[in-house]
Every structure is written in C-alpha cells, then in structure tokens.
A and B are shown apart, each in its own frame.
Chain A
Amino acid sequence: MSIIDIKQIEHLAELARLKVSDEEKDKMAGELSAILGFVEKLDQADVVGVLPTSNAAGIFNAMRQDAVDQYNKQKELVKAAPASKDNLVKVKAVFE
C-alpha cells in the first residue's frame, strides 16, 4: 500500500508549481492514497516481455516537411497575456 504523506504532497506541489493550503494537503494525501491503493491491483497483471503502448491506433512517426507556417496573430497572442511591454509578454524577474 503506497501511502502519500504530507511531506510528499509538499514535494509534488513544488514540482507541479501549485500552491496547496495546509488544510488541502491533508485531504489530498488521503484522496491520493486511496486512488493509488485502487490502482495497485495492476501488480497482479503479468506484463513480462510486454512492450508499452503510447499510441493505441498505431500511428507512428507522423512526418511533415520542415517548413515554416506563418501565424499572423502575434499581437492578439501578446494581448492575451496579463502583462506586456513593447509587444512582448512581460514576466517577473527570473533572477532575484
């Protein structure tokens, strides 16, 4: 039984860039543990020598010409950002 504790929740929240309140940490630890308990039934499946599947309809290596396709709505895209300057997306300082 894989039990997720508060410390792991904090670590995952950091990886996922998600602020989680103290109250929610506790609840999430319980819910995630229950779901992980459920999926552990996969341990009974015999998959020795079986290859993993990532595309179920068998579409592999979709190739196309390495050509530029122009997108002419650059201004609209920048406008969608919460902050912009000189038609560029503005973000907080990356280095403190």
Chain B
Amino acid sequence: MDIKNLTLIGTKKMLDDKELSARELWRALFDFAKKENKEIHGFLRFQEDESKWKGLPIAVKDNMLAVGMPTTCASKILENYQPSYQATVIDKLEKNGLGIFGKTNMDEFAMGSSTESSAFGITKNPHDLERVPGGSSGGSAAAVASGMALAALGSDTGGSIRQPASFCGVVGLKPTYGRVSRYGLVAMASSLDQIGTFTKDVKDAAYLLNIISGFDKYDSTSSKEHVPNYLELLDEDVKGLRIGVPKEYFIKGMDADAEKTVRNAIKKYESLGAEIVEISLPHTEYALAVYYILMPAEVSSNLARFDGIRYGYSIERDLENGNATLDDVYKISRAKGFGAEPRRRIMLGTFVLSHGYYDAYYLKAQKVRTKIIQDFNKAFEKVDVIATPTSPTPAFKIGEKISDPLTMYLSDIFTVSANLAGVPALSLPCGIVEREGKKLPVGLQLIGKHFDESTILRAAHSLEQAL
C-alpha cells in the first residue's frame, strides 16, 4: 500500500474489494501520520478512539464541530471546548462511510493566510519546511499534500481553501455560497464563509462534493438548488468550452515564474479545444478593500458570542475571589482568549460599523460588492469558466509577512472576489517553480457560475489529465 498516494475513490475500491480492512488502513495511516506530523504539524489532534476507526478516514479543519473531540478554532478561547452537537457536514460524512481521522491546524478563527496565527503552533509546507502552507486552512492542505490524510475539509472566507491548496499542490474547492450547509461551522464572516474540500485529485473533489452538498434546515442560507451527480460529467472534454482570462488578474507584482506557469496551463486548454477569451472584471481592484471592510464587520459581530459567560475561556475559572465585575469577565476573558489577529479584526469591524462611519465604510463596501457581482454576471454571458492565478506568489517563508498585517492581506488578492460574488472556485496544481533548490507548486484558479461546480470540475479534470 502506497500510503502517501491514497485517494478516496481508489481506497474505497480497495475496501469494497476486501483487499484491505478499514482497521488496517486506519492503523497504517495513523502510524504514518503521527510520525510525519512531528515535522509538519498539520494536525492538532488525531482520532484516538479506535472504535471510530471505520470507513474512509478524512481530516477536518478544527472549526467544524465533531462530537467526541474538542473544537478549538486554533484559539485559546476555545482551547478545551467540547461541542454538544455536530456539524451537518460531519453527519453527512459519517452517513456516507467516512470517519473523522483528526482535526487540522488553522489560522486562529480562520483569520490569516499562512496558519502562523494559530495559538497552537505553526504548520510547515511539506514541499519546503521553511515555508508556510498558506492559510487559513493550512493544516488541511499540508495534511493532504504530505499524505497524512486522503482528503480534508476546510473553510474558505476569502481564499482559505484555494490559497493553501495552491501553496501545497493539492486540489482545493470552494463551492457556491449556499451549496454546503454551514451548520456547526464556527462562523467568521457569515456572508462569505463556505465549507469545501482538499483532495489529491479532481475526481475525489467531485466525490466529496456529492456527499456534503445540499439544503439543510438548520442553515437558512443553504440553497434548495438541485444537487447534480458531480462525478457523472467529469470525463467530458472541454472542446468548445469558453474560458475567460481577466486582464486584471495579471498584474504588476505577480511572481514572473508563477505567471508563466499559469499562462502555460491556460495555453494547454487551447490545445485541448477550449476557446480562450480575454475578458475584463473592472471592479477587481476594489475587491480586497471591500473584503477588508465587510469581513471584519461580520467578524466583530460573530465573535461577540465569546464572552466568558457561556463556554470557552473565562477568567471566571481563574479567579477564585469574587472581585471581578461582569464587565471584567467580558473584557479580560476576550483580551486573554483572543490572539492578535482576531482582536485587530474585532476592533476594525467595530469601527466600520460604529456610529458616523457605517455609511462611509460598510454600506459603501456592500454597494461596491454589487458592482463586483455584476462584473461576474456580465463576464459569464460570454464565457463558461474564468481562469486566473490562485495566488500572486508561490508559498512564502515562515515569518516573512506575519509582522505586517496589510502585506499579509494582499496574498488574498486573487481569491476574495469569488467569495464576494458567492461563485464557486477551485485551485488546481498546474506546475512548479524552483526556489532555492525546492520545488514549489503553483495553482490555477477556475471560477464558475453560481451552482455550476460541474463545469469547473470538468475543466479541472480535463487539464489534470493533460498535464
């Protein structure tokens, strides 16, 4: 058994054919991952309860609630939090023959692009241990890339699946807003958050999307739109498919080698019979600014629930004297429980929503968001898929950007638009660049129409076979 290269579909066949027992599989993967994790630190914890070693093992980002183990969001404020209920996606995985193998590291509350803001230590990129795996779902990406996991779930608010998938050389899919229930996902920015997948190939992405998609009465933003069989259309070719290349995504400051790799991938589509169309998404330049207003505003509201009263870290547990006031419990618990990035975003969000600033920031950003959506709608009248780089650079060095928040934010520049518009997007490994003797993966981003994951999966599958 080639443990590092196991896929979901391939392993399922081995289990179904009784070539391998689930127990043997879990034991082998567990032993391998425990050892590998000492260096990579993609997992925060593993499934130690052997009675749960059933079916296909899958890793889950530590912001989705699974009963029986803590959910921490890589934050001190939830360090010992034991969920009393389970996320809908976890229920769906378990009902469909998958088991939770472990919980993966992430930027604290999914806030970051490098997994360096985790309160429980950084994760390293398996392709170069001196580099970050990307973020915020860096643990999930690194776990799949290193072979510690067959596949993983992550969440994507501004690129948190696609950017780490790109940095680690795996397939990362952010479905349409509303495609997958978020019940039991710890909310960061509710108008943008979406659960998605990390897999070793496109087929596994389609397989997992089949399982996790669909309406859920516990998530009022989940959609009743029909869920097709995503595996069915995968093998069709891309002849005649119209692929739009937006000029705004090939900008100054883009890594030259990475750009060349992405352009070559797009050229490859032409040789496969697709039609390449130059398009324009004129409001792209505003996307990051819109994102860094709307997202912190929603963060400041969502994180208000961590108040030191009901669950999570509280100074109430530390102080034996009764001197603290109610106000102290709120303020000190939150100050000690949250790390620097959540605190910064709470303050920024509070500012843009505060009296006298709401119209100038929040309302304005919501209006520009409408323009960004209109850009996509117009573009999709002419093309079926939009192809761009996933990230302006390959994986950067650990420590390179963590001290300057604004520089870190710029690494989301190509990914936030899809969240603002709610459209599905996927990152596919499309080549490598060499840096200091290390081979670093580059990702191609494919963006589709609302609820048209089928087309981006088909386009990705076609290129994957050709590369």
The one of A15, A17, A47, A57 that contacts B334, using a Cβ cutoff of 8 Å = A17
Asked whether, in the complex, the Cβ of B346 is within 8 Å of the Cβ of A18, the reply is: yes
Known: A17-B334, A62-B221. A42 touches B366 (CB 8 A): no
Q: Say whether A51 contacts B370, CB under 8 Å.
A: yes
Whether, in the assembled complex, B432 has its beta carbon less than 8 Å from a beta carbon of chain A, the answer is: no
A56 touches B344 (CB 8 A): no
| Interface hits, A47-96 → B, CB 8 Å | 47, 50-59, 62, 64, 73, 76-77, 80-83, 89, 91-94, 96
Give the interface size class of chain A.
35 or more
Residues 17-54 (chain A) with a chain B CB within 8 angstroms:
17-20, 24, 28, 31-32, 34-36, 38-42, 45, 47, 50-54
CB pair A51 B344 closer than 8 Å? no
Whether A51 contacts B367 by the Cβ 8 Å rule is: yes
Q: In the bound complex, do residue B326 and residue A12 qualify as a contact, i.e. CB atoms below 8 Å apart?
A: no
B363 lies within 8 A of chain A by Cβ: yes
Selected contact of A18 from candidates B331, B365, B367, B420, CB within 8 Å: B331
- Please measure, in the bound complex, the distance between the C-alpha atom of A81 and the C-alpha atom of B311, giving whole angstroms: 5
Interface flags, B309-346, vs A, CB<8A=1, else 0 = 11100101100000011111111101100100001101
In the bound complex, CA of A95 to CA of B288 (Å): 44
**Are the C-beta atoms of A15 and B325 separated by less than 8 Å?**
no
Chain A, Cβ-Cβ closest to B314: A82
Q: Is the CB of B367 within 8 A of A59?
A: no
Say what secondary structure dominates the interface of chain B: helix
A2 to chain B, nearest CB (A): 8
Measured between alpha carbons, how far is A50 from B366 in the docked complex, in Å? 9
Q: Are A56 and B334 in touch, CB under 8 angstroms?
A: no
Query: Can you name the residue of chain A whose Cβ is closest to the Cβ of B451?
Result: A57
The reply to whether A76 and B84 contact each other, CB–CB distance below 8 Å, is yes
| Complex contact A52–B310 (CB within 8 A) | no
Known contacts A4-B351, A42-B365, A45-B368; is A56 also within 8 Å of B422 by CB?
A: yes
Contact B286–A41 (Cβ < 8 Å): yes
Q: Is A16 a contact partner of B450 (Cβ separation < 8 A)?
A: no
B252 close to A (CB within 8 Å): no
**Chain B residues within 8 Å of A, Cβ to Cβ:** 81-82, 84-85, 176-178, 191, 217, 220-221, 223, 283, 285-286, 288-290, 292-293, 300, 304, 307-311, 314, 316-317, 324-332, 334-335, 338, 343-344, 346-348, 350-351, 354, 361, 363-371, 373, 405-406, 409, 419-423, 450-451
Q: Which A residues contact B (CB, under 8 angstroms)?
A: 4, 8-9, 12-13, 15-20, 24, 28, 31-32, 34-36, 38-42, 45, 47, 50-59, 62, 64, 73, 76-77, 80-83, 89, 91-94, 96
